[in-house]
Amino acid sequence: MPKKDRLLKIHVITDLEGAAMVFRFDQTRVSETTAAKLEAMRILTGEVNACIDGILDYDKGADILVWDGHGSGGIVYELFHDGARLLPHRNTPAPYGLDESFDAVYFVGQHAMAGAEAAPLAHTYSSRTVERYTLNGQPVGEFGMRAYMAGTLFNVPVTFLSGDDKAVAEAQALVPDLVGVSTKTGTGLECAISLGPGKARKLIREGARKAARLARKRAVAPVRLAAPYEWEVRVQEGQEDALAGYLKRPGAVQTDRRTAVIRTDDPRAILR
């Protein structure tokens, strides 16, 4: 069946920091399921379920795969929507179940990149160790790395993102036509003005439905990055040991005590 005529296939990437009412790292960083983290996970799971509902509102037979992208887990399994499938974070390597058969990628609960001004819980992969990433000379965060992964490796566009207002702005700077839903307005690293969870879910459901229509029409172009690739990683002061993992990658060199640069022509070596 031609791609344009078959049921939609959507890949959803989640994170915890961008959900409504999530303000503090003690709601997200911990590995154990504390009361504060469980509350955040329940809110995020509701937002993910609203996203799934929005996709199914447009195409009731859509095939939806959700990857829990939060390092210590962000989904409450017993509350997860029956209309989708779930990949856990642990033991799921890049590209997290994504391939060229998907029509679009969605992001739910996304935060902004490390260093973004007044962005709640902003970080890039590790909130404890990474100061910044740049890719081919441009600052990039988790959204950008994964949007480039989808477009460069698989020709799949990103059509939807929900999260704080700084995350939405970051995403639309790279993909102007995606549907963005802001769940809160950042006023500092651990401070934001948030929508209520119910209002956030309503807007996410509406936005996800609109984004499904864009996916069906192929109205949003995939973002691609041309070789050669230069990925610069700078770690925070006192976190120099964190460079070791990056320096194991082919083409990696250490340029100062806190910075590694990986140069390669293989996008799979860096996009994750």
Element (H, E) at 180: strand 179-188
Task: Give the pLDDT score at 204.
Answer: 99
Q: At residue 1, does pLDDT exceed 90?
A: no
Break the chain down into helix, strand, coil percent, rounded to 5. Answer: 30, 25, 45
For 2-45, the pLDDT digits (tens) are 455 679 999 999 999 999 999 999 999 888 889 999 999 999 99
Segment 97-156, tens digit of pLDDT: 999 999 999 999 999 999 999 999 999 999 999 999 999 999 999 999 999 999 999 999
Provide the residue type at 67 as one letter. Answer: W
Q: At residue 271, does pLDDT exceed 60?
A: yes
Place of tokens 């770690």: 235
Which residue ranges form the domains of the chain, and what is each CATH number? 9-128+140-217 (3.40.50.10780), 229-269 (no CATH)
